[in-house]
Every structure is written in structure tokens, then in C-alpha cells.
Structure 1
């Protein structure tokens, strides 16, 4: 399968990076030693963004990058300490289920920079946070969904009702209502970050109730949409290549600005605990609306103009997409 092949390639690249690491002290001309610790596979939407940005920095010769995927929550602290004791100068990860443990490790290693996906605040002098503030393109993708639905019913399938998911769903729904005030929504959380079969079944149930567009916050939803011949809106990554007749648009997350800023600060010796979340917004090129691609000619011209005009307003600072972290309601 294509996803397994991609995963094997990523794993091989990570192993190659680990094998290339040396043990000499790091000076200004040396590559920064960076580690990534992830509780899910590299190809999972959220983690793939971090991993891809760090792999790009590695390819440019700026860092030496090691990473571990599928780390169980009880093992997260141990793995983080191993990287910290192994010479890592900058550690990335998503720590939502292991907040206390990750912050404890950061406190024990004050000379190491930590940048964690977290709903919490920065801590100490070395624990920075980031978040997926891609509500702007989520709003725009919602406008497309609202203008494309024929039944007036849209289904949303998410992982957990946490702020990082809620704010994107709420922005998507606001965008849909902006062009179609009568649209209605069905919402399901599968209580897992990576369970495509469960997400697929939840999506099937929504189609059975009349939904003709599905918001694919989790893997598996677009598969259901493809099988039932309805449309889907992607999230975080662009999967239109895999679903050319199904995925209309996607709100994309680009972690490169966040990663680049952290690397720059650590190399300059100016790193301090901060909120890197704003680097995920459109004005920093941290997020965008994916090109319509195969749906370029299928989306009505007047709808495309409305979306383009709203995007221009966002970039000009004339329109602000509301950040609503509350659990969305059907």
C-alpha cells in the first residue's frame, strides 16, 4: 500500500539520520541535534507536519534529526529522557496525553530546548508550545463545503473534542454557514487519533442520514466518502492525489515556519519559553487552503470568488476567523 511504502521510506530516512550522528561536542559550525518523539505513526496528519518540516531542515544540512514514532504514553517520559541524555539540543513532540511528564523532563534539562504541541502555556525558560492555528483555511474550506452541498447536510468526524480539533471544526462550520445559513451538521468523535476503520464507520452513518459532504479530520473518512460517492474536505494535509474525485479542498498546516524559528533561536542562543502557535497562521505561511486541483472546474465560479475575496480579507487583516475551542454542537 502507498501509505506503508511512504512510512517505510520515512523510517529508513530516520534510521539513516540516526546512524550518521557523531559524539563530538557541538560548536557553531556543527549541525544542531534535534529529536522528535511521537505517540502515533509518522504519517498521521498532525505528526506528519512536524516530521516533514524537520526532515526538510535535515535535508538542507541544518540539523541532525532522530525520531521515534508510536511511543506509548507510559513510555514517553523514558524516551524523552533518553534523547535528552543522548545529546539532543532541541526536542519536538506532541505531548497532549503526557503533559505532566514532558514538562517534568524539560524542567530537569534546562539547557535543552523543548517545543511541544500542547494546549497549555510555555513553562520555565525552555518549554515552548505550538498549536494548529489553521482556523483560517478551515473557514475557507467550510465556505466551499457550504456552497457545494446539495442536501444541506454535512458530517464531521473528529478524533477527540480537544481545542486543537474543536477550533478547526467550529471555523469550518462558520465558513459553511456564511454561504449557506440553512446547512446542518452531524458530529462524531471517535476517541482515537489513529483508527481509520472506526472513522470510516462513523462517516458511513452520516451518509446514511443524508450527508453529502464529510469533513475528514481523521483518516478513514475520505475512504467512506469515496465508497459512497460523496464529497470530502481534508484537514492538515492534502490527500486529493489519493482521492481525486472525492476530496474537494483541504486546510493545510505547514510546520516549517515554526520549526525554522525554533532552530534559528537555538543556534543563536536566544531560545526561551514562548508560544509558537501564531507561526501556524496564514500570514506566516504556516497554513493555507490547498489548490482545488481536480475540482477547479467543478466548483462554481461565484463560490470561488467568494472564497478568494475572503482569503484576501484575512491576509489583509480585514477579517478575523474566530478561535472557538468549545466542543462543537450538531
Structure 2
């Protein structure tokens, strides 16, 4: 079950391109064995960022990486135990649907380090478990500024997976950004109850377009497909899909997992890994998120909006402006 697969040229190329800021002494140290455990395919946008960062660390040397994808939440603890018994040093993944059981496994294997996506904070009683989340509200806010400037009707559709903090905060930041350039913007918000169901996301997006939305926030795969078919615009999330939707995806809020993983590897090397919140490494000032280049939409976004984006981005990076972290469930307006 531990066989590593290679999923697509995009992931392989991304791993090579994103190998930045790796520990300088990685080659001189003992190899760190990393295991990734994912509840969805590694193509799924959120998990793909973890996978690409781990592949980049492996390519740079000093790290061995294997993974298992499509693990059901009910099976997650078993897979964790199998990897622990196999002698891995670090397990990465996401435990949003298996919090209690996964934390029990972490406590059972104190010599293994865990870096897991979680909606809850670390617990000092489990010192070998550090948590993270994609706190990319900074980039989401900036993408919202662009969205507000690009919608013609003022009606924006938003399709998410589940209304949990890591989704809610991005949606709320996006909505706040959109109101900067379109104060009267109205939002249709819906959650499909799945992390990977493109057909359902697409149908939900179709309904929003029929309801007047001319721009969609694509938190899930499938939304941009609907926008493309109906001639609407879309804003991407976590990854840049503009190459696949050159006339549809205006901008995207990108997540970069490299700072998070590299910080964990440094701590392991230094013997200082502990229960900690690694979410801060997703902030823009830490290099954990960014706004994707406009690409095919360069010159098509109003100049005033892009000026505001530049001003807000500079303020975020120098600490003079902070994007609010609002984890409450967003509602349609």
C-alpha cells in the first residue's frame, strides 16, 4: 500500500519549480522519511500543494517521500499506524474528518513527528503533533478586489466544499476584498458536502449563473468548467488553473506549502520539533501565499483595482494592514 505513484506532468513540474528555501544542510544530514496520507487524490488542489512541496524536498535531497491517497476518514488511523510501524520519521496529511482518532495515534507513537492539517490547535499533551491550515486569507482578499472590479452584474457565486474554518476564512476574505471595489456586491454561497466532486460543484455553479452570477469563486474543482461553458468569469483558489481556462480564470489565490514543510524539517533536524501551530507559514509575509499572475487577463482588469491590489499587498507584507481571519460560515446576501 506504500507504493508511490506519479500523477501528471503538472505535479512533477511543479515539484521541481517549487523547490525553494530548502534547508542548506539537507544533503549533509540523515535522510528524513516522510509519509503523506491523503483523503483525496493528489490532484485535488489543497492536497496537491502538500504533495508538490514534499516532492520538491525529496528532489533536493535529504528526504525520502512516499504517500497514500484516497484514504477514507474511517481508515485514516489504520494507515497512520502502518506508516508509523514502517519506520517513517514524519507524517503529513489532513485530519479534518478524523481529529480524535488521529490524535490518539499520534500519542501512541511519540517518536514519530506529525504535521497535519487540522481545524483545531496543537495540544501540549501530544508534543509530537504540529498542525497547519492554509491561512491564505491575504491572497484571497486580493483576489476579491479583482473580482469586485470584474463583475458586471454585481452578483458573485461561491461554491465551497464544507463550511469549516479553513474554507470559511478564505471565502470571507474574498468577500471583503470584493466589497472594496464593488460595495454593493451580492453573494450566492453554497457548500457541496465534498472535497472532490467536480460534477456536483459544476451543477451548483450552473444554478448560481442561472440566478444572475457572472463571476464565480472556484473553491472546488468543477466551478471553472461551469463558468467556461456559460461565458462567466472565475477566481481560482489554492492553485493556478488559468492555463486550462485562459478566457475564464481571471486570477487565483495561491497556497505555497514549502515554507510550512521546510520549517518542520528544520525543526526535526534541530531536534526542536514540538506541538505548534504552523498555520503562520501560510501567511503572505511568510511566503505561504500569493496572487497568481494575471496572464491572459493582463491589462483587462481596471487599473484602479490593480493599484489598490498593489497597495494592499505592500501593506500586508510590511505589517501595516492585516486581513481579518473570519472563520464564521459565510451566508448568501
State TM-score, norm by structure 2. Answer: 0.91
Which residue among 210, 213, 226 is the counterpart of 1:211? 213
Answer whether contact 1:156 1:214 (CA < 8 A) is retained: yes
Q: Does 1:105 align with 2:114?
A: no
On the 8 A contact 1:77/1:101 being kept in 2, the answer is: yes
Name the residue aligned to 1:273. 275
Q: How does 1:67-216 map to 2 (within 5 A)?
A: 67-123=67-123, 124-216=126-218
In structure 2, C-alpha distance between the alignment counterparts of 1:65 and 1:81, rounded to whole Å: 17
1:57-111, Cα deviation, whole Å (9 max, x unpaired)? 0000120001000001121111100100101111101000011111011100111
Provide Cα deviations, 1:26-77, integer angstroms capped at 9, x if missing partner: xx73311111000000011110011100000000012000100000112111
Tell me: CA distance 1:8–1:145, structure 2 relative to 1, closer, same or farther (3 Å): closer
Native 8 Å contact 2:12 2:52 kept in 1: no
Give the whole-Å Cα distance in 1 for the aligned partners of 2:115 and 2:10.
21
Unaligned ranges ≥5, structure 2: 14-27
> Secondary structure at the residue paired with 1:278?
helix
Deviations 1:164-203 (A, max 9, x none): 0000000000000111111100011000000000000000
> For 2:97, what is the secondary structure of its paired residue?
helix
CA deviation string 1:264-293 (max 9, x = no partner): 111221111100000000011000011111
Q: Secondary structure at the match of 1:172?
A: helix
Q: Is the contact between residue 10 and residue 42 of structure 1 (CA under 8 Å) also seen in structure 2?
A: no
Conserved? CA contact 1:89–1:113, under 8 Å: yes
The corresponding residue for 2:266 is 264
Q: CA deviation at 1:10?
A: 8.7
Unaligned runs of 5+ in 1: 14-27
Cα offset, 1:7, TM superposition: 2.2
Q: Does the 8 Å contact 2:114/2:128 carry over to 1? A: yes
Contact 1:58 1:65 in 2 (8 A): yes
RMSD value over aligned CA atoms?
A: 1.8
**Residue of structure 2 equivalent to 1:65:** 65
Alpha-carbon contact 2:11-2:52 (below 8 Å) kept: no
> In the alignment, is the contact (CA less than 8 A) between 2:11 and 2:48 conserved in 1?
no
Moved over 2 A (4+): 5-13
**Structure 1-normalised TM-score?**
0.92
- Which residue of structure 2 aligns with residue 54 of structure 1? 54
Shift of 1:310: 1.1
Tell me how far 1:297 sits from its aligned partner.
1.6
